[in-house]
Amino acid sequence: MRRAVPLFLLLLLFAACSRDRNPAPAKIRVGSYNMAILGETKTARTSTMGVMAKIAAGFDIMAMQEVGSNGSTASDDSCAKALDAFLARVNETAGGDFYAFVRGDQYAFVYRKDRLEVKSWKLYGGAQKFTYPPLLAYFKVLGRPLDFLMMTVHTRPSLAGAEVPALAAAMDETAVALGETDILCAGDFNADGSYYTEGTGIELAGFPSSRFISVIPNDADTTVAPDGLAYDRIELSSSMSGDYAGSWGVVKPGEIYDLAGCEGTEKNAGTERALSDHYPVWAEFSTTADRD
């Protein structure tokens, strides 16, 4: 049964993460976060970066969108510098050299290199059309059977009606092309509100339950705005049904951290918007068997 984790359990999970140095964990926690333009301005905001680093250190893998820019306009060098600065804060928070990243375009995966290895990564180049082609990476859990392909995406809001269903097709296509049926797609789908008709049930429209698992349900709230919109999603290929541990959540930083010192604009300093206009989403997976 899919379930959201209560706040007090979430706090315990995040606190335990920094203490757990088991290189072969029975479970991994995978997250996704629209960073709201992680560039030179934001990385210079010490307190804001401190909170965002704490969030990242609560995951074994965190997919990131808007690295450098919101429109793939930042230079490759500036994106790399922003990630280097962010990674340094994450490792400082984690208490050692535990995290690494792979990146492409406005995307990145920050991951625990003592728990996972990246076998390969690339930007999607298949038949489906996206404004910002997704980043793909093939992860293997060290010392455990579980391996899977992970995609992260940021759809163009005005084209979400076409790009969200294209993700389902891209997942199917990638499974065939790369010979790996276990595929996890996480990111800012813009899959709600005026951008996309999400459907009336739990499953996201365009991702039929016969082939996919919609981890983040349609009634989730993944944005700081008061509208209760589920823009940020995690979709799984059905072959991961035995690997998905059934736990998911939305991190609302204002309920966990003291944000009073977070730098930002005149309007958002000291608030959740100083971090991002999105909340991180996450899910847990068992690593003890690879059931595809």
pLDDT tens per residue, range 254-274: 999 999 999 999 999 999 999
Distance from C-alpha of 243 to C-alpha of 222, rounded to nearest angstrom? 24
Closest CA to 244 of 204, 186, 170, 179: 186
pLDDT for 2 = 53
Is pLDDT at 83 greater than 80 in this prediction?
A: yes
Place 213 in a pLDDT band, splitting at 50, 70 and 90.
very high
CA–CA gap between residue 178 and residue 137 (Å, rounded): 11
The CA distance from 291 to 243, in Å, is 7
Q: Rounded mean pLDDT of 37-61?
A: 97
Within the chain, strands assigned E span 3-4, 27-38, 61-67, 99-104, 107-112, 116-123, 135-141, 147-154, 183-188, 212-214, 232-237, 244-250, 281-286
What is the pLDDT, as a whole number, of residue 4? Answer: 63
Model confidence at 128: pLDDT above 80: yes
The model's pLDDT over 232-252, given as tens digits with 9 standing for 90+, comes to 999 999 999 999 999 999 999
Model's pTM, two decimal places? 0.91
The answer to whether residue 194 sits within a structural domain is: yes
Residue with tokens 């990674």: 87
- Kindly state the average pLDDT of the residues 109-132: 97
* CA nearest neighbour of 56 among 286, 280, 208, 276: 280
The token duo for 93 is 């928070």
Residues 6+ apart with CB under 8 A from 253: 51, 55, 259, 272, 275, 279
Asked whether residue 172 is domain-assigned, the answer is yes
71 pLDDT higher than 50: yes
Q: How many domains does the chain have?
A: 1
Report the run of H or E that residue 2 belongs to, with start and end: none
CATH of the domain at 49: 3.60.10.10
Q: Does residue 22 fall inside a structural domain?
A: no
Cβ neighbors of 140 (< 8 A, separation 6 or more) are 116, 117, 119, 146, 147
* Assigned token pair, 123: 């930007």
Residue 52 in this model has a pLDDT that exceeds 80: yes
State how far the Cα of 24 lies from the Cα of 27, in Å rounded to an integer.
9
Strands 61-67 and 3-4: unpaired
The tens digit of pLDDT for each residue in 2-15 reads 556 555 455 545 54
272 — phi, psi (to 5°)? -60, -30
Residue 291, in any domain of the structure: no
Pick the residue with more confidence: 80 or 190? 190
Of residues 18 and 42, the one with the higher pLDDT is 42
What range does the domain containing 224 cover?
Answer: 3-17+27-286
Residue 65, C-beta contacts closer than 8 angstroms, at least 6 positions apart: 32, 33, 34, 35, 106, 107, 152, 153, 154, 187, 188
- pLDDT of residue 63 exceeding 60: yes
In this prediction, residues 154-175 reach a mean pLDDT of 97
- Mean predicted lDDT score pLDDT of the chain: 92
Strand partners, 4: 248
pLDDT confidence tier of residue 92, bands split at 50, 70 and 90:
very high
Residue 257 sits at φ, ψ, to 5 deg, of -115, 155
In a domain, 292, yes or no: no
